[in-house]
Amino acid sequence: MSSPTLWVKSAATLTPDGFVEGATVQVAAGQVVRVWASGEAPTPKPADEILDLGPQLLLPGFVNSHTHAAMNLLRGFSDDLPLDPWLHQHVYPAEARLKPGDILWGTRAALLEMIASGITTFVDMYFALDEVAQAVRESGTRAVLGRGLITVSGRGEEALAEASDFHRRTQGSADGRITTWLAPHAPYTTTPDYLQAVGEAARALGTGVHIHLSETRREVEDCLAAYGVTPFGLMRKVGLDRQPLLAAHAVHLTADDLESFSDWRPGIAHNPISNLKMGCGMAPVARLLELAMPLGLGTDGVASANSLDFFLTMKASIWGARGATGDPCWPNAAQILHAASAGGARAVELHKKTGAIAPGLAADLIGVSLQGVGLEPVHDRISTLVYSATAAAVKTVLVDGKLLYQDGAFLTLDQEAILAHAAEIGRRLVAKN
Ligand SMILES: [Zn+2]
């Protein structure tokens, strides 16, 4: 028996070929069947569902290509510090106070914020992944989950075994919405031998690897001093160029790194707000786009970025890049809007599943209103979306054709309960004793 068809009408729908005016998107079994131009869609059958978004624009849902969702619990608790003491003296001690169940609530809180911002897929690196997976399952969103792996704790082998076990149990779960990768934290919290073992495990499991790479100048200098190669060079040295790789940050790239991308195309998660706020620098975004690298945008965790508003992330990626290069033209708004959806999907090899509104892809769709104060008049939709809009413009969110959010209401998550629990846990985490 075929499932009922959903017809999503909007003022205009953004497809890989541009906006289709007055389009109707035909959705069946959670997938886009076809995008019909104005007046061309067939008449719906009585059992069909119609979602008429009126003046809203329909866009592909955003892909947050790097975050630590549960860090939502640590918003604003230790700002304005260098990365090293911030991580070791503040974040890690607070995380050590997390109790079972806290990560579930923290991830739920992040999901409220991500859904309201139009993020339909997120790429997470954290621990207690069964709790993260539960939040994904109940929220209806899509995710790529990776357990953070470090060797400095002395539990590296055990953590890798747990991550492999999580992959076997969870890959493809939540009706295919959960993908699991392995996620060694960074070259400076692991060893080359361990990274090599992670790569071997990933290839044996048939999955990818997500890692923080070249975030600070010091990280690159230390890696060169210790191993004679940059962090990206180290990836190739230990064989991590032989399975899908997602490199979060890629701020400090050498000429050799850029040259290596001629025959190696790792995904890159660009986190402009976190990088700028932590004073780490700015990834060479325009250059990476010129090289046609699979480039996605990420928020990083709220402990460093303070917000999961993906519209802020888009703005920061342009402002930061132009501030760093002095070039007022690149990257442009259309490139960054593309990176926010299709680019992120490509960076984690989900481009055959999501990231665009096209036949055969999941109906991961967002309705955005460009009406109201601060948005009108709209001379150029892409310009207004990227340079003027905030998350408040997002009115409708669907994943796999299922409504998750409509006009400020969460249809799968209990906003009141989640915010109350998150506030309570947050207070405990930063308590002095
Ligand atoms: Zn991160």
| pLDDT tier, 432 (very low <50, low <70, confident <90, very high otherwise) | low
Q: Give the architecture (CATH level 2) of 62-347.
A: Alpha-Beta Barrel (3.20)
Which of 53, 63, 1, 46 has its CA nearest to residue 25?
A: 53
CA 402 to centroid of ligand 1, rounded, Å: 29
CA 182 to centroid of ligand 1, rounded, Å: 14
CA 379 to centroid of ligand 1, rounded, Å: 36
CA 357 to centroid of ligand 1, rounded, Å: 28
Residue 361 tokens, joined: 């892809």
Q: Which residue has the tokens 């979306």?
A: 385
CA 331 to centroid of ligand 1, rounded, Å: 23
CA 233 to centroid of ligand 1, rounded, Å: 20
CA 337 to centroid of ligand 1, rounded, Å: 21
Domain-wise residue ranges, the chain: 6-60+360-408, 62-347
Q: Transcribe 338-377 into DSSP letters.
A: HIIIIIHHHHTT-TTTSSS--TTSB--EEEE---STTT-S
CA 64 to centroid of ligand 1, rounded, Å: 12
Q: Which residues contact 431 (CB under 8 A, 6 or more apart)?
A: 97
Q: How far apart are CA 109 and CA 429, in angstroms?
A: 15
CA 37 to centroid of ligand 1, rounded, Å: 41
CA 66 to centroid of ligand 1, rounded, Å: 6
Farthest-apart Cα atoms in the chain, separation: 69
| pLDDT tier, 154 (very low <50, low <70, confident <90, very high otherwise) | confident
Question: Which residue type, as a one-letter code, is found at position 262?
Answer: S
Q: How far apart are CA 375 and CA 51, in angstroms?
A: 24
CA 194 to centroid of ligand 1, rounded, Å: 19
Q: What percent of the chain has pLDDT over 90?
A: 94
Q: Which residue has the tokens 């909007």?
A: 10
CA 211 to centroid of ligand 1, rounded, Å: 8
CA 304 to centroid of ligand 1, rounded, Å: 9
Provide the angle, in degrees to the nearest 10, between the axes of the packed helices 192-205 and 156-170.
20
| pLDDT tier, 28 (very low <50, low <70, confident <90, very high otherwise) | very high
Output the pLDDT for position 83.
85
What is the pLDDT averaged over residues 151-171? 93
Would you say how long the chain is, in residues? 433
Q: How many angstroms from the chain centroid is the CA of residue 184?
A: 17
Q: Are strands 295-297 and 267-270 parallel, antiparallel or unpaired?
A: parallel
Q: Give the architecture (CATH level 2) of 6-60+360-408.
A: Roll (2.30)
> Is the preceding peptide bond at 60 cis, omega within 30 degrees of 0?
no
Output the pLDDT for position 351.
98
Residue 416 tokens, joined: 């009141």
Give one word for 124, left, alpha or beta, with left for phi > 0 and alpha for psi -120 to 50.
beta
CA 102 to centroid of ligand 1, rounded, Å: 19
Q: How far apart are CA 227 and CA 78, in angstroms?
A: 32
CA 133 to centroid of ligand 1, rounded, Å: 18
Q: Which residue has the tokens 């209103």?
A: 369
Q: Which residues contact 9 (CB under 8 A, 6 or more apart)?
A: 22, 23, 24, 50, 51, 52, 53
DSSP structural state of residue 87: I
Asked if residue 159 lies in contact with residue 149, where contact means CB atoms within 8 angstroms, the answer is yes
CA 269 to centroid of ligand 1, rounded, Å: 10
Q: 68-104 burial, b if ≥16 CB within 10 A, otherwise e?
A: bbbbbbbbeebeeeebeebbeebbeebbeebeeebbb
Q: Using one digit for the tens of pLDDT, what is the confidence trace for 368-416?
A: 999 999 999 999 999 999 999 999 999 999 999 999 999 999 999 999 9
Are both 6-60+360-408 and 62-347 of the same fold?
A: no
CA 184 to centroid of ligand 1, rounded, Å: 11
Identify the three-state secondary structure at position 63: strand
CA 384 to centroid of ligand 1, rounded, Å: 29
| pLDDT tier, 3 (very low <50, low <70, confident <90, very high otherwise) | confident
Q: Is the pLDDT of residue 105 over 60?
A: yes
| pLDDT tier, 417 (very low <50, low <70, confident <90, very high otherwise) | very high
Q: Is the pLDDT of residue 87 over 90?
A: no
CA 147 to centroid of ligand 1, rounded, Å: 12
